[in-house]
Amino acid sequence: MANFDLDAVIKIGSMALIRQEDNDLNYNIFSRLAADLQPGYILVSSGATEIGRLDYMKRNNNRELKGDMEEAKTDYAAQGQAILMQNYRQFISQEYSVRQVLVEHSHFNDPEKREHIRQLLFRAANQNAIPIINYNDPVSSEENRKLEIAALKENGETGEVVECVDNDETASVICQLVNAKLLVLLTSVDGIYRDAKDPSTLIETITAPNFDALQKKIDETLVYCVGASRKGAAGAMAKLKYAAGPLKQGTTVIIANAKYRLKDIMDGNVRMTKIFVG
């Protein structure tokens, strides 16, 4: 039986926070998720860039930023971060502190920086605080990131290089860093389907008696993971890929719909995909 240091890392994707019918924030999702957060949980939240884009358009006659798209994404992310945090703070229980933690790939590829973040997250759990983590897009140039990652891979001194190209990876790295019991990946669907157009084909459980056998089952499931919810998203395939590290340490991974209450998901009372060694 594995011993865990923190209760859960929860990751929510951008599209789960947006109402598709009118391109506005889904306040029901914010309030439902935030109300169930408590110390011992870490939230990894996407959404700053998309929320910033929508907010910019509202204030500029429905026009989007023109010019270099990487610069536009940077500007949107800077605008959206404040709104993202404002909404979580509004709905998280007032008895808890909320702490924003903006990370970059370099933080996880440097042992001292990685340990600094680990200790910060443990302190939060002991200080009645809930950390909310996001990649620091406003100060991260995509071109510089690629060059830095290439240099790390060429150097080879850090072992496996953390790229943080997707918040699914960030959540996976954080989960391993704090040895969390659960990794909950919240999306706009109920989990992994054999046929995305047929709700009855939901794969509810992927399990095996050891990690190697489980990895084989996950590899067989990847054939069903085609496409993503939006341009630039990695989709279900990334979730299964990055789940490997946490699963290897004994973490249970859940892929579930953000429309459900977090407590109901953790208690197994809703449709979802649950992955574990056991």
User: How far is Cα 249 from Cα 14, in angstroms, rounded to an integer?
Assistant: 27
In this predicted structure, the answer to whether residue 157 has a pLDDT above a threshold of 80 is: no
Name the average pLDDT for the chain: 89
Q: Mean of the pLDDT values across residues 188-216? A: 93
As a whole-number percent, the residues of the chain with pLDDT over 70 amount to 90
Confidence (pLDDT) at 148: 65
User: How far is Cα 236 from Cα 34, in angstroms, rounded to an integer?
Assistant: 24
Domains and CATH numbers, the chain: 6-277 (3.40.1160.10)
Query: Binning pLDDT at 50, 70 and 90, where does residue 158 land?
Result: low
Confidence (pLDDT) at 161: 75
Closest by Cα among 149, 184, 185, 183 to 165: 149
Would you say 221 and 237 are in contact if contact means Cβ atoms under 8 Å apart? Answer: no
Confidence (pLDDT) at 146: 64
Least confident span in 87-91, 214-218, 225-229, 256-260? 225-229
User: How far is Cα 257 from Cα 168, in angstroms, rounded to an integer?
Assistant: 15
In this predicted structure, the answer to whether residue 122 has a pLDDT above a threshold of 50 is: yes
- Residues 172-201: tens digit of each pLDDT: 999 999 999 999 999 999 999 998 889 999
Q: What angle do CA 228, 243, 140 make, to 5 degrees?
A: 65
Closest by Cα among 218, 252, 258 to 238: 218
- Residues 219-245: tens digit of each pLDDT: 999 888 765 444 433 468 888 989 999
- Residues 40-84: tens digit of each pLDDT: 999 999 999 999 999 999 999 999 999 998 899 999 999 999 999
Confidence (pLDDT) at 234: 46
Q: What is the pTM of this model?
A: 0.90
Q: Mean of the pLDDT values across residues 90-115? A: 93
